[in-house]
Amino acid sequence: MSALATSGTVAAGGYNFAYLDEQTKRMIRRAILKAIAIPGYQVPFASREMPMPYGWGTGGVQVTAAILGASDRLKVIDQGADDTTNAVSIRKFFEKTSGVETTTRTANATIIQTRHRIPEAALTGDQVLVYQVPIPEPLRFLEPRETETRVMHALEDYGLMHVKLYEDIATHGHIATTYAYPVKVEDRYVMDPSPTPKFDNPKMNDCAALQLFGAGREKRIYALPPHTKVVSLDFDDHPFEPTKFDHACALCAATHTYLDEVITDDAGGRMFVCSDTDHCEERRAEGHRGALLGEAPAAIAGAAE
Amino acid sequence: MALARAFADPVHGAQQTFRAVMNALARPGTLQPVDGLIEAPAPLSPVAAAIAVALADYETPLWLDDPLAAAPDVAAWLAFHTGSRIIAAPSQAAFALVADPAALPDLAGFALGSDIYPDRSTTLILQVADFAANTATSRLRLEGPGIKGHATLAVAGLPADIVERLAANHALFPRGVDLLLAGPSSVAALPRTTRVTLVET
């Protein structure tokens, strides 16, 4: 312990830098490297128990802990927001165990850990986006046996997935999958983009940032290198369409962002606001004003006004 | 014999070296600086040694090429700092360290992974002389994931038929090996996804 303490790597509470022990980090790092070398392929890894329950982002936390360095600036979002429980607790976890600087500004971050959204602002080549993934296997609800889905990926046997999308069309008249919408990576592996809204799928294609996916309970890591071809599955006569909104953001008037519906009273009142809180705040700081900004409570409108 | 030290700061040295390797693999053809090391015993180069110490441990069998295997100090140093077993069969190796890449053995002799588990493949760490354009023996044009459009990489010290070998490796995708090129002060990577051709001069 004393030898480590002199090198400044022991964080609060006596934990190693970024909580995980060094052998665990090496194991995760090796999995990340193979994931980058085989885009869209799910690399098994020896996921550890973390001091938070499965389903709270243990896969993303382990990936972040393995790549994090002392000079990184970390941003954590949950459904686009920096200030919800999951994001706040993971951010505090890394503040406590690594001492790295944290930020809510997308442009300032070098690592962004996310639960189910991709920031609205375009990411850069200096950034890494880490996804928390609950079910990494896109074929899991079609074929429950891991031994079979492994073979299906090996044989590039993705007919079942197209049948599932076709059944959507037969039942609903259109592809009704709106989140965890399957993608094909570099014309090879079908991949689950994690339960991001399909609105975000186009941002994965040719993204300048490295994208890493960690599934803690399911013990899988996969990756998209920068500028990788990512195509949402569809049919010639039913092409993929990202979600569109009929509303503008009630706070910043944006019409190009993913919106959350917020119920404002018990008489049917509601408003639509950006899911990406940082992007919305920046737009308001630039002077964009939504229809309800004046009357929105400070807790929603934030400190930007 | 006193063993040479590895990272002055084991935690952050390993993290910085890993990030350099990660960025190199994510952006094939770019040079990612590696420092913070290392008094490695010759003929093991400091950068190759840093990568080995950052990534190898008791879970990862190591294979050494002839010049490295002939130096007992190298095996002793790697055994102490990584805990890896040194093995004779390249097809069982998680990492292969190659000090003389001009004499690189057939890539198909290393672990290539299976169609079901293509990740169970060897990562080769090749010590190359440098990446300078004026001394390069191979001028490579790279395309594939991680590269916008195309990239170029000039390397000194690779075998003359490296392009054909890499094409055969790429054709195995998703199986295949991944190459890390350890220069004097930086690392570059050629993962199995990269399509490599010679630059026309």
Q: Which residues of A are catalytic?
A: 40, 249, 252, 274, 280
Q: Look over chain A and give the mean of its residue pLDDT values, rounded to a whole number.
A: 92
Structural tokens at position A3 = 């030898």
pLDDT the model gives residue A13: 67
Alpha carbons A42 and A191: distance in angstroms, whole number: 9
Residue at B105: amino acid letter: P
Residue pLDDT, tens place only, B134-150: 899 999 999 999 999 99
Whole-model pTM: value is 0.95
- Work out the pLDDT band at B178, boundaries 50, 70, 90: very high
β-pairing, A259-263 vs A270-274, is: antiparallel
pLDDT the model gives residue B26: 98
Please tell me what DSSP assigns to residue A188.
T
pLDDT the model gives residue B200: 73
pLDDT the model gives residue A293: 86
Alpha carbons B21 and B34: distance in angstroms, whole number: 9
pLDDT the model gives residue A14: 83
Residue pLDDT, tens place only, A235-274: 999 999 999 999 999 999 999 999 999 998 899 999 999 9
- Work out the pLDDT band at B1, boundaries 50, 70, 90: low
Pick from A93, A100, A122, A281: nearest CA to A200: A122
Nearest Cβ partner for B11 among A16, A27, A225: A16
A8 CA: distance to closest CA in chain B (Å): 9
B59 CA: distance to closest CA in chain A (Å): 8
Q: Look over chain B and give the mean of its residue pLDDT values, rounded to a whole number.
A: 95
**Which residues on A lie below 8 Å from B112 (Cβ)?**
none
B81 part of contact set with chain A, CB < 8 Å: no
Alpha carbons A44 and A24: distance in angstroms, whole number: 14
Alpha carbons A274 and A199: distance in angstroms, whole number: 13
B32 part of contact set with chain A, CB < 8 Å: no
Beta strands in B53-100 (DSSP E): 62-64, 86-87, 95-98
Alpha carbons A78 and B86: distance in angstroms, whole number: 45
Residue at A236: amino acid letter: D
- Work out the pLDDT band at B201, boundaries 50, 70, 90: low
Structural tokens at position A167 = 């059944």
Inter-chain touch A43–B119, beta carbons under 8 Å = yes
Q: Is the peptide bond before B38 cis (omega within 30 degrees of 0)?
A: yes
Inter-chain touch A188–B174, beta carbons under 8 Å = yes
Residue B115 CB partners (closer than 8 Å, separation 6+): A154, A155, B174, B175
Residue A3 has pLDDT above 90, yes or no: no
B184 part of contact set with chain A, CB < 8 Å: no
Indicate the helix (H) or strand (E) that contains A260: strand A259-263
More confident residue, A47 or B4: A47
Indicate the helix (H) or strand (E) that contains A242: none
Q: Which residue has the tokens 């990489």?
A: B153
Residue pLDDT, tens place only, A164-219: 999 999 999 999 999 999 999 999 999 999 999 999 999 999 999 999 999 999 99
Residue A58 CB partners (closer than 8 Å, separation 6+): A47, A49, A50, A52, A214, A216, A217
**Which residues on A lie below 8 Å from B60 (Cβ)?**
30
Over residues A39-62, the mean pLDDT reads: 96
B196, with CB counted inside 10 A (0-12, 13-18, 19+), is: buried
The number of angstroms, rounded, from the C-alpha of B156 to the middle of its chain's C-alpha atoms is: 14
Inter-chain touch B192–A186, beta carbons under 8 Å = no
User: What value, to the nearest 5°, has the Cα angle with vertex A185 and ends A184 and A186?
Assistant: 120
Helix axes B46-55, B72-82, angle to 10 degrees: 40
- Work out the pLDDT band at A12, boundaries 50, 70, 90: low
Residue A1 has pLDDT above 80, yes or no: no
Query: Closest-CA residue in chain B for A150?
Result: B116
Inter-chain touch B26–A210, beta carbons under 8 Å = yes
Nearest Cβ partner for B55 among A29, A38, A208: A29
Structural tokens at position B75 = 């095996």
**Which residues on A lie below 8 Å from B23 (Cβ)?**
210
**Which residues on A lie below 8 Å from B117 (Cβ)?**
44, 150
B83 CA: distance to closest CA in chain A (Å): 11
pLDDT the model gives residue B4: 81
pLDDT the model gives residue A302: 62
B48: left (phi over 0), alpha (psi -120 to 50) or beta: alpha
Pick from A58, A62, A85, A70: nearest CA to A17: A70
B168 CA: distance to closest CA in chain A (Å): 16
- Work out the pLDDT band at A2, boundaries 50, 70, 90: very low
Query: Closest-CA residue in chain B for A5?
Result: B9
Residue B107 has pLDDT above 90, yes or no: yes
Nearest Cβ partner for A37 among B23, B54, B178: B178
B165 part of contact set with chain A, CB < 8 Å: no
Nearest Cβ partner for A29 among B18, B26, B174: B18
Q: How many helices (H) and strands (E) does chain B have?
A: 5, 10
Over residues A142-163, the mean pLDDT reads: 97
Q: Is the peptide bond before B174 cis (omega within 30 degrees of 0)?
A: yes
pLDDT the model gives residue A294: 82
For chain A, what percent of residues have pLDDT higher than 90?
A: 89
